Amino acid sequence: MIPGVPRIINAYGTNTRLGGRPLAPEVVAAMAAAARVTVEMHALQAAASRAIAAATGAEAGIVTAGASAALLLGAAACMARLDPGAMNRLPDTTGLPDEFIIVRSQRNMYDRALRAAGGRLIEVGIPDRVSGPGVRDADPWEIAEAITPRTAAIYYLAGPRSQPTLAAVARIAGERGVPLIVDAAAQLPPRDNLRRFLAEGADLVCFSGGKAIGGPQASGILAGRRDLVSSALVQMLDLDLPAEEFAPPPEFAPLGQLRGLPHHGIGRSCKTGKEEIAGLLVALQRFVATDPAVETAGWTARLQAVAAAAPGLPLRLLADGSKPGLPVLVWQLSAPAVAQRIEQRLRAQAPAVHVDAARLGDGLLAINPIAFEDADAVVLGAALVAAAEGGA
Ligand SMILES: *Cc1c(COP(=O)(O)O)cnc(C)c1O
């Protein structure tokens, strides 16, 4: 309970606006323990780097304030590299490579993080497979032709429908020596994706800590090349100390090449606290260690308990489709307007119930098990019955 704030039941997913998901007791305990001590933040990030490297196969990694913060820091790293003068100037990019090549069909609201660091987006491709009149998207050669001396990086949004393939884009990036930064914020599960994008040739990859990993809401991961991750780290760390007192940990050895320490960097406005770092590391360990079949069984049982508490409603248990191993409970209504009416009634209850808003347009009320607890299953089932009683 948070005094003065009504609790909700989040049956939508790990959405930021709904507070993400309840954290496992082990994650909460790690955050509480971290809250009671003080540590040097670069030493904590070095420990994080070792854990992230083990989980992802990356050379190095840091905990950030979210995937969006990871993108911002990754972009800053691709522009300023290990030049403290350039770090001090961002988001002013005068004289720096500041162009991020992005396939037009991969534009999304989170790419603002690249611009927030000072980057400029260079769009390529005519995505008429998306707009309808054709079948094509950007071709790899179009990305290659957009590379100039002003190119800071190629940006790639990982997703089941993203084109061209990451492998094709990585080939170009590798041939031309341009970093490739992958937004994989929501591409977990499957667990293998922790390693996949780096293995396919990404130089940097960003994950949300507060989605499937089960870490704190304001946590994320930036992992990849040691020189770029090290640059990102010093653009977030508070380095307000005499330069000779700062000894870079071996995890961030390229910082030994800095000719001086930057001041508070562009990432200082999205700093990560020790509590988030400690919580994320325990969540990551749990995410890697959890048997996906056991997790699916737990989610399935939770949804079955919802259905059992709503007898008489035509609820069906399905595979989510986009997330392997994730079941959803769906209620197909006769029309989108009917689904919207019932959804409004669910939100009007106490506690308010939020279901998957993205599927209402198909007349579907979909219940995602990831962000509510077993103890809420009966309340949720009763809420569905009450909402149905108002008639369709
Ligand atoms: C959720 C999401 C983000 C933002 O993640 P945070 O951890 O909330 O900062 C960025 N990109 C994509 C594609 C996402 O789905």
| CATH for 291-389 (3.40.50.150, 3.30.70.20, 3.90.1150.10, 1.20.1050.10) | 3.90.1150.10
d(C-alpha 79, C-alpha 44), whole Å: 25
Q: Give 275-306 pLDDT, tens digit per residue.
A: 999 999 999 999 999 999 999 999 999 999 99
**Is the bond preceding residue 351 a cis peptide, omega within 30 degrees?**
yes
User: Hey, whose CA ends up nearest to atom 14 of ligand 1?
Assistant: 185
Does the pLDDT at position 392 exceed 90? no
Residue ranges matching CATH 3.40.640.10 in the chain:
22-289
What 3-state class would DSSP assign to 270? helix
What distance in angstroms lies between residue 308's CA and the mean position of ligand 1's atoms? 34
CA–CA distance, 186 with 212 (Å, rounded to integer): 8
- Nearest-CA residue for ligand 1 atom 12 is 185
Listed in order, the ranges of the chain carrying CATH 3.90.1150.10 are 291-389
Q: How confident is the model at residue 351 (pLDDT cuts 50, 70, 90)?
A: very high
Q: What is the number of the ligand 1 atom nearest to the C-alpha of 71?
A: 10
Please choose from 110, 112, 206 the residue to mutate so as to test ligand 1's pocket, defined by most ligand atoms within 8 A of CB. 110
**Given this structure, which CATH class describes domain 22-289?**
alpha beta
Exposed/middle/buried for residue 387 (C-beta within 10 Å: 0-12, 13-18, 19+): buried
**CA angle 362–110–156, rounded 5-degree value:** 95
User: 141 vs 320, which has greater pLDDT?
Assistant: 141
What global pTM score does this model have? 0.96
What separation in angstroms does the CA of 166 have from each of 41, 189, 192, 232? 34, 18, 15, 23
Amino acid at 351: P
**pLDDT over 70 at 257, yes or no:** yes
346 confidence band (pLDDT: 50, 70, 90): very high
Q: Which amino acid is at 53?
A: A
> 391: pLDDT confidence band, cut at 50, 70 and 90?
low
- The Cα 273–Cα 34 span in angstroms is 9
The H or E element spanning position 352 is strand 352-355
